[in-house]
Amino acid sequence: MNAETRSWVAIGDLADIPREGARVVKTDRGCIAVFRTVDDEVFALDDRCPHKGGPLSQGIVHGSSVTCPLHNWVFDLATGLARGADEGSVPVTAARVENGKVLLAADDLARRAG
């Protein structure tokens, strides 16, 4: 599916998320961590490390990665895949910014809900 035909859900302003930081979006099926990189890209991952359930939203964001605050697993924000020696992945929700608003892909959200 390409971006033009996808529908998106606005969750707030880009300015609400600190650069190299994250905010949490609560859903019925657990939290989503929405990250903002130093160059203002946004990414959204389930806020749950596959290792021991750590809240990735609380990790240090560096480049396009986040380090889990509990045991320092590192995840690629774009793919949700663990980096380095660890193996695992976090579900990704497509995210983008339009006119300063952060949008999450409705189909990805629906898939989580289902």
Partner 1 sequence: MEKKKLVIVGNGMAPGRMLEYLFEKDSDAYDVTIFNAEPRVNYNRLMLSPVLSGEKAYEDIITHGDDWYGAHGVTLHKSAKVAQIDRNEKTVTAENGLKASYDKLVIATGSNPFIIPLPGKDLDGVLTYRDLDDVEKMLDAAKSGGRVVVIGGGLLGLEAAAGLKMQGMDVTVLHLMPTLMERQLDPAAGFLLEEEFKRRGIDVRTKANSHEILGDGSGKVKGIKLDDGTEIEASIVVMAVGIRPSFDLAKSASLDVGRGVQVGDDMRTSDPDIFALGECVEHRGMCYGLVAPLYEMAEVIADNLLGGASEYTGSVTATKLKVTGVDLYSAGDFAEGDDREEIVLRDASAGVYKRLVLKDNRIIGAVLYGETADGPWFFDLLKKQSDVSEMRETLIFGQAYQGGAPLDPTAAVAALPDDAEICGCNGVCKGKIVGAITHQGLTSLDDVRAHTKASASCGTCTGLVEQLMQVTLGDAYNPAAVTPMCGCTHLGHSEVRRLIKSKRLKTIPQVMQELEWTSSGGCAKCRPALNYYLVSDWPDEYADDYQSRFINERVHANIQKDGTYSVVPRMWGGMTSSTELRAIADVVDKFNIPAVKCTGGQRIDMLGIKKEDLPEVWADLGKAGFVSGQAYAKGLRTVKTCVGSDWCRFGTQDSTGLGIKIEKFMWGSWTPAKLKLAVSGCPRNCAEATCKDIGVICVDSGYEIHFAGAAGLDIKGTEVLGLVKTEDEALEHIVALTQMYREQGHYLERIYKWAKRIGYDEIRSQIMDDAEKRKAYYDRFVFSQKFAQIDPWSERVSGKDKHEFKPMAVLQAEAAE
Q: How far is the CB of 2 from partner 1 (least distance, A)?
A: 20
Q: Which residues of 56-70 are buried (b: 16+ CB within 10 A; e: fewer)?
A: bbebebeebbbbbee
One symbol per residue from 73 to 102: x for binding partner 1 (CB under 8 A), - otherwise; what is it?
-x-x----x-xxx----------------x
Positive or negative CA dihedral for 93, 26, 33, 9? positive
Q: How far is the CB of 47 from partner 1 (least distance, A)?
A: 8
Strand pairing partners for 30? Answer: 27
For residue 58 the two structure tokens come to 């609380």
User: Using CB under 8 A as the criterion, which residues of the chain lie in contact with partner 1 when the complex forms?
Assistant: 9, 11-12, 16-21, 23-28, 31, 34, 37-38, 52-55, 58-63, 65, 67, 69-70, 72, 74, 76, 81, 83-85, 102, 106, 109-110, 112-113
